[in-house]
Amino acid sequence: MSTWHCKVMIIHGRHAQFLRADDSAADLPATSHPSDDLLQDLDSLTAKVRAIVKSQFVVIHRVFPGAVAPSVREVLIERVCHDPAFGLLSHLERLLGGNGMSDKEYVATLSVAYEKCCGLVQSIGSFPLDTPAESDRMRTFLTVQLQVLFGGHRQRYVQIEQDLLGQGFDKTLSMIKWPPIPSGKNKYKLKEQAAKETAKGHQITSPTSGNIPSNTTSLTSPASTTALASPRDAAPANKPEPLNLFYQMLLPISMDDTMPRKFGRDLQESTARCDVVLRNSELRVELMARLYTSYCHAFGDEYLGKMANLSHELVQEPLLCLESASNFFVVNGLDKGDFVGNKQVQTQSKACTQVVQYLSHMFMHACAALDDVGGVSNRTQFVSNVCATFKDTYIAHLQKFKFDADGACLLLTDLAMYRQAFRVCRHPSIDDHFDLLHAIANIYALPRDSLVSYVTEGLQTTLGKATLHALIRRRWDYNLNGDKIPI
């Protein structure tokens, strides 16, 4: 045996004897210490390894020639990392290999153990050596040993971390009590309750139910005091009704910011552990992508998507509980079947009064919220979309009644009020929609002889032939004496 091999064995034997002399967890059964005790033992072990390596590096520098010293130092490091009796690897297996450890305990313990070993590696890598090249070589070797120590645990950790994040998201979602979507008989039941609330809405300025936040009054009262008014359904003033409408159940959920924080906190905890355990690993990018994908699915699809779908019930149907928005003007606003006669000339319809009041309150609160989160562009997009829906609804409404010239005057008066309600912002598309509705109202205002030349000036192209003919058929004189209008 060569002289330097004998010296290496003597050096390794000395530091091995030093480590074995300690009553550390290396000499005890794995079941005799809980993870906290094993972590404390790991602290003690890393401190002793650091001291041994530092002292032995000095000995190696004095005993071995410069060409051999780097290899001897690497043998020393490999021995303290992988020795089956006293090495770091055997201690980590006892620390992380317990069958009774939960997934959450495992990732927490793995994170702490990895940080401690990283600290040991950085400390050893900072020990002064003969040349910068030797220092770089040692740091590279230490990084490789660290990967070997935790390689198997990292693969297991990737799957466990995803499972833990998914479980955390599922737990948060299970805490939310979503209101059921009104359907069938429930819609009419909620409609009746809404009408009763309306009768009291002008006198009561704040909710009396303990589960409704006081700062939500201004958001819910417009819907319940305008679009839902129905005198024949009014309840006695001394008989309070529970505030259990669908939108009043959804509003506290939408205003609760603790749920988004819970999703964010779960993601932050997972990514923080990922930054530690998968430091300098290719697995880090892959796991980060999976964690954020899980977050987008849980918070975006399951939470925000559910919120948006339920809120759609409030936006699409002005009465919240009626069959559809297209029947709103007919069912709740009009007292007669057709717009024929001069009783309402130069006055706005009952439906117009209610809808304008409803739109005013909705735009006031919606635009204020949209301005806070995205500026004027969000407001413009929202109002433009509502206006497009309003136009289609109104055209469908016109096809249900007959109109004479007096009825056309009423339509024009209503349209002026509607146009004013939509002037919370100015946009060419809004003006185009109301210009079209104004042109349609003129179909009923123009004399019969002037109608043919009027509709050939682009109105048929805009509306389409079928829709235009359906609107013209609503003139009171369309089939007068069997003579149809030749359109």
What pLDDT, on the 0 to 100 scale, is given for residue 338?
54
pLDDT grade for 409, boundaries at 50, 70 and 90: confident
User: Is residue 487 packed enough to be buried (19+ CB in 10 Å), middle (13-18) or exposed (0-12)?
Assistant: middle
Kindly report, residue by residue over 27-75, the tens digit of the pLDDT. Answer: 333 333 446 777 888 888 888 899 989 999 999 988 888 888 999 999 9
Q: Among 321-325, 340-344, 413-417, which stretch is predicted with the lowest mean pLDDT?
A: 321-325
pLDDT grade for 24, boundaries at 50, 70 and 90: very low
Q: What is the mean pLDDT of the chain?
A: 74
- Cα(85)–Cα(421) distance, rounded to whole angstroms? 83
**For the whole model, what pTM was predicted?**
0.47
pLDDT grade for 313, boundaries at 50, 70 and 90: low
Q: Among 129-143, 260-274, 296-310, 345-359, which stretch is predicted with the lowest mean pLDDT?
A: 345-359
pLDDT grade for 130, boundaries at 50, 70 and 90: confident
What pLDDT, on the 0 to 100 scale, is given for residue 418?
92
How many C-beta atoms lie closer than 10 Å to residue 369's C-beta? 13
Residue 327: pLDDT over 60: no
CA 413 vs CA 345, 420, 433: distances in Å:
9, 11, 16
- Strand partners for 403: 339, 475
- Is 111 in contact with 103 (CB distance < 8 Å)? no
Name all contacts of 431-434 with Cβ < 8 Å and 24+ positions apart. Answer: 433/387, 433/388, 433/390, 433/391, 434/387, 434/391
What pLDDT, on the 0 to 100 scale, is given for residue 212?
38
Kindly report, residue by residue over 449-467, the tens digit of the pLDDT. Answer: 777 778 766 777 888 888 8
If one compares 97 and 24, the residue with the highest pLDDT of the two is 97
What pLDDT, on the 0 to 100 scale, is given for residue 29?
39
**Which of 176-185, 212-221, 260-269 holds the top average pLDDT?**
260-269
How many C-beta atoms lie closer than 10 Å to residue 227's C-beta? 24
- Strand partners for 475: 403
